[in-house]
Amino acid sequence: MISELLNENTIKIYDSVKDWKEAGKIAGKLLVDTGKVKESFIDAMIKSVEEYGPYIVIAPGIALFHARPEDGVKSMCLSLVIVKNGVYFNSGDKDPVKLVFVLGAVDNESHLRLLSELVNLLQDKNLVKMIISAHTEKDVIQLIQKKQLETVKEL
């Protein structure tokens, strides 16, 4: 599922970004540009962090932006912005964040398989380091596909 959603249109690599809001807006815009979410989704996910704090920083160096399906999700989607120099979310020892994901879910359940796959990928610390070090979006895609093939073979 991740391999179907993350592609050269939904992954971008940056050396740095101004702040966490810009990181979220860039990652969200990838999904707007591919027709998966409305602009209102970006506003909702930024507002949520402003309101509730950096709860979206789910692990050291990894953030997962999201908002409610009714905030403008057209179809299930995922984007990734890699920030080589990291960006600070005020999340203590989990900063700086280098992998900024945006997840758009159409309901409260269909994205659970996607989240499970994402957790499986991100538990591999070596893979995370290789993704952060990748030079191109194509390299990131190949790393993720390779890991998913290995996981299938293990089953």
* Active site (catalytic) residues: 66
Phi, psi of 6 (to 5 degrees): -95, 120
Sort 90 into a burial class: Cβ within 10 Å, 0-12 / 13-18 / 19+. Answer: exposed
The tokens describing 46, both together, are 């930024």
User: Residue 17: phi, psi to the nearest 5?
Assistant: -135, 160
Cβ neighbours of 18 (radius 10 Å): 10
Please give the Cα distance from 5 to 29 (Å, whole number): 15
User: Within 13 Å and on the Cβ side, how many CA atoms surround 44?
Assistant: 16
